[in-house]
């Protein structure tokens, strides 16, 4: 599952640094913006069948690869 | 008496703070008192204008019934939610605002329909609840919470725009003595900053706005734009600071509305710093949802085209929300196009990717952004067109 999330993140952020540093802050490092965030939500829904709405999570809940993995784990 | 605009309002507000502080310091819930204080304050401010007051009451009843009815329907639907029913309810919930905005410009057939102070901001709060009920995140709506959230008098007329789930959590909190003391101190400081911004700095800068009134030459237009933009900031950030501070004292940590907007280094940065609660609302409830539908439905050949359309629609609606006048619509479209161009430039340009972290680049980018922002205010002011 983790591998699949990282594949998704690498595709959306267009940078493989998301694999190397799982605690990197995606918003601060300019790897993710509002557009990429919606792509992430669609990606999570299509890959894992988990529906997360855009206003449901705070930016701080999904700011690192680790936090995103944890969120998906908690929901599946 | 007007919200944060007259001495009677401030005196009454200070009077209303006293029982709030007593309750807060003794670790009691402020919810019931706060709601009663809001009803009293709004009633007193709107009393001289009975028609507005009646429209507000009609609006409140209509929206409460809508939210309750839709929640019941939605819970019964469980995993088989109907998008059609959702859209009908969402449309009816914003219909009063649409009628109000149309009657503002048309006169004639719908003169004054649903024109009451605060409707623009109240509509966000209700629409957000309907949308999140559809999403399945809101599963319960209590009458007292709804009334407390919708009518909080400190943010009634012009925001900041809070979110119901966050608000209700704050609303229920029983603070410890220390926690409330801190809230009280922060709240008073924010009110003080707001007073300085709005009544001293904004008033001073407004002299500049008046000086450049009816500009003719390029320099006069530049002077007008800068003065008007800076005036808007101190006026609205000042109002927001007072509203936020007063809400703290009533036990609600209302989110911030401004974060040094004039240091923005690009247009996306600007909208993360200017009127934040409005721009985040549009981001979460219009832009993101449009983009998700577009991506899932493969509406556009490239993601960049989709994003550009998304930005322009998002900001067009934002402009129209200010009012159905040419200057507001243009202001919205202008920002939509700028955001789209920013997105395309940042994604496509190797020059940008190579230099974006360098100081000289950031300095130039800041200067260009600031002037684009000021030109936007000129459009907004209606002085140009």
DSSP state of B142: -
| Residue of A58, A57, A75 whose CA lies nearest to A5 | A75
Position B317 in a domain:
yes
Q: Long-range contacts of range A39-47, CB-CB < 8 Å, 24 or more positions apart? A: A39/A12, A39/B291, A39/B295, A39/B303, A40/A8, A40/A9, A40/A12, A40/A68, A41/B288, A41/B292, A42/B292, A42/B295, A42/B296, A43/A8, A43/A11, A43/A12, A44/A8, A44/A72, A46/B296, A47/A4, A47/A8
Contact between chains at A56 and B137 (C-beta distance less than 8 A): yes
B132 vs A contacts (CB less than 8 Å) = 53, 55-56
Min mean pLDDT across B47-51, B112-116, B225-229, B265-269 is at: B112-116
The residue written with tokens 């709804």 in the block is: B146
- Give the model confidence (pLDDT) of B339-357 as tens digits: 999 999 999 999 999 999 9
A41 vs B contacts (CB less than 8 Å) = 288, 292
Task: Give the range of the structural domain holding residue B305, as residue numbers without chain letter.
Answer: 262-381
Q: How many CB atoms lie within 10 A of CB A58?
A: 9
- Give the model confidence (pLDDT) of B214-254 as tens digits: 899 999 999 999 999 999 999 999 999 999 999 999 999 99
Position B349 in a domain:
yes
Position B358 in a domain:
yes
Residues B46 and B158 in one domain: yes
Residues B198 and B319 in one domain: no
Average pLDDT over residues B315-334: 96
Last residue of a domain, one of B230, B256, B282: B256
3 state SS for B264-307:
CCCHHHHHCCCCHHHHHHHHHHHHHHHHHHHHHHCCCCCHHHHH
Contact between chains at B295 and A39 (C-beta distance less than 8 A): yes
Position B17 in a domain:
no
d(CA B63, CA B151): 12
* CA B124, chain centre distance (Å): 8
Residues B49 and B154 in one domain: yes
Contact between chains at B291 and A38 (C-beta distance less than 8 A): yes
Last residue of a domain, one of B211, B239, B256: B256
d(CA B352, CA A30): 13
Residue B245 to residues A55, B48, B163, B359, Cα–Cα distance (Å): 25, 27, 17, 36
Measured over the CA atoms of residue B125, residue B129, residue B132 and residue B138, the dihedral's sign is positive
Active site residues of B: 322
If you measure CA to CA, which chain A residue comes closest to B280? A55
Q: In this predicted structure, what is the pLDDT of residue B107?
A: 64
Q: What angle do the packed helices A34-48 and B288-297 form, to 10 degrees?
A: 50
Residues B296 and B281 in one domain: yes
Residues 6+ apart with CB under 8 A from B381: B224, B225, B228, B327
- Give the model confidence (pLDDT) of B134-163 as tens digits: 999 999 999 999 999 999 999 999 989 999
Q: How many CB pairs under 8 A join A and B?
A: 47
Binning chain A into helix, strand and coil, the percentages to the nearest 5 are 60, 0, 40
Position B8 in a domain:
no
Last residue of a domain, one of B172, B203, B229: B172
Residues B117 and B39 in one domain: yes
Position B202 in a domain:
yes
Average pLDDT over residues B37-53: 95
Contact between chains at A55 and B303 (C-beta distance less than 8 A): no
Q: Model ipTM?
A: 0.91
Contact between chains at B163 and A37 (C-beta distance less than 8 A): no
The reply to whether omega before B160 is within 30° of 0 (cis) is yes
A42 touching B (Cβ < 8 Å)? yes
Residues B248 and B314 in one domain: no
Residues B203 and B166 in one domain: no
Q: How many CB atoms lie within 10 A of CB B263?
A: 12
> Taking the complete model, does pTM exceed 0.90, yes or no?
yes
Q: Are B369 and B269 in contact (CB under 8 A)?
A: yes
d(CA B250, CA B12): 14
What mean pLDDT, rounded, does chain B reach?
Answer: 95
Domain count for chain B:
3
Residues B35 and B168 in one domain: yes
- Dihedral (Cα; B346, B288, A38, B373), 10-degree rounding: 20
Residues B168 and B41 in one domain: yes
Q: Are B179 and B147 in contact (CB under 8 A)?
A: no
Residues B97 and B213 in one domain: no
Q: pLDDT confidence of A58, banded at 50, 70, 90?
A: confident
**Structure token digits, residue B70:** 């839709």
If you measure CA to CA, which chain A residue comes closest to B129? A55
Position B354 in a domain:
yes
Q: In this predicted structure, what is the pLDDT of residue B303?
A: 86
3 state SS for B35-66:
HHHHHHHHHHHHCCCHHHHHHHHHHHHHHHHH
Q: In this predicted structure, what is the pLDDT of residue B356?
A: 92
Residues B104 and B183 in one domain: no
**Structure token digits, residue B333:** 């479209």
Residue A73 has pLDDT above 70, yes or no: yes
Average pLDDT over residues B291-314: 94
Q: pLDDT confidence of A59, banded at 50, 70, 90?
A: confident
**Between residues A21 and B190, the one the model is more confident about:** B190
Residues B189 and B315 in one domain: no
Residue B108 has pLDDT above 70, yes or no: no
d(CA A37, CA B161): 22
Position B132 in a domain:
yes
Contact between chains at A35 and B310 (C-beta distance less than 8 A): yes
d(CA B193, CA B238): 7
B284 vs A contacts (CB less than 8 Å) = 54-55
A37 vs B contacts (CB less than 8 Å) = 288
Average pLDDT over residues B357-377: 97
């Amino acid at each position: 599952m983790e591998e699949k999330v990282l594949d998704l993140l690498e595709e959306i952020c267009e940078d493989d640094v998301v694999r190397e540093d799982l605690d990197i802050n995606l918003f601060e490092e300019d790897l993710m913006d509002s557009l990429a965030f919606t792509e992430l939500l669609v990606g999570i829904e299509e890959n894992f069948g988990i529906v997360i709405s855009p206003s449901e999570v705070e930016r701080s809940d999904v700011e690192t690869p680790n936090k995103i993995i944890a969120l998906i784990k908690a929901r599946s | 008496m007007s919200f944060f605009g007259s001495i009677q309002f401030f005196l009454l507000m200070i009077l209303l703070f006293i029982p709030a502080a007593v309750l807060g310091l003794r670790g009691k819930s402020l919810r019931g008192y706060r709601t009663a204080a809001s009803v009293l304050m709004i009633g007193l401010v709107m009393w001289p204008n009975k028609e507005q007051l009646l429209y507000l009451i009609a609006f409140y009843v209509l929206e409460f019934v809508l939210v309750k009815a839709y929640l019941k329907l939605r819970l019964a639907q469980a995993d088989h939610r109907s998008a059609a029913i959702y859209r009908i309810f969402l449309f009816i919930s914003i219909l009063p605002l649409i009628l109000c905005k149309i009657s503002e410009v048309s006169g004639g057939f719908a003169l004054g329909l649903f024109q009451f102070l605060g409707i623009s901001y109240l509509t966000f709060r209700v629409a957000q609840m309907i949308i999140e009920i559809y999403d399945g995140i809101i599963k319960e709506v209590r009458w007292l919470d709804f009334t407390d959230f919708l009518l909080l008098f400190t943010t009634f007329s012009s925001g900041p725009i809070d979110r119901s789930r966050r608000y209700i959590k704050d609303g229920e909190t029983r603070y410890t003595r220390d926690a409330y003391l801190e809230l009280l101190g922060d709240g008073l400081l924010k009110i003080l900053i707001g007073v300085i911004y709005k009544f001293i700095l904004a008033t001073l800068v407004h002299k500049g706005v008046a000086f450049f009134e009816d500009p003719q030459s390029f320099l006069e237009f530049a002077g007008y734009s800068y003065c008007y933009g800076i005036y808007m900031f101190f006026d609205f950030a000042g109002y927001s600071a007072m509203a936020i501070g007063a809400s703290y004292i009533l036990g609600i940590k209302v989110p911030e509305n401004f974060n040094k907007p004039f240091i923005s280094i690009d247009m996306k940065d600007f909208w993360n710093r200017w009127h934040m609660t409005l721009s985040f609302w549009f981001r979460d409830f219009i832009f993101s949802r449009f983009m998700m539908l577009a991506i899932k439905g493969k509406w556009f050949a490239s993601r960049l085209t989709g994003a550009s359309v998304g930005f322009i629609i998002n900001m067009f609606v934002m402009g129209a929300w200010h009012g159905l006048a040419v200057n507001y619509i243009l202001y919205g479209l202008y920002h939509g196009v700028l955001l789209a161009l920013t997105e395309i430039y940042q994604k496509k340009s190797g020059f940008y990717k190579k230099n974006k972290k360098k100081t000289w680049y950031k300095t130039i980018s800041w200067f260009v952004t600031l002037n684009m922002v000021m030109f936007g205010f000129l459009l907004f002011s209606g002085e140009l067109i």
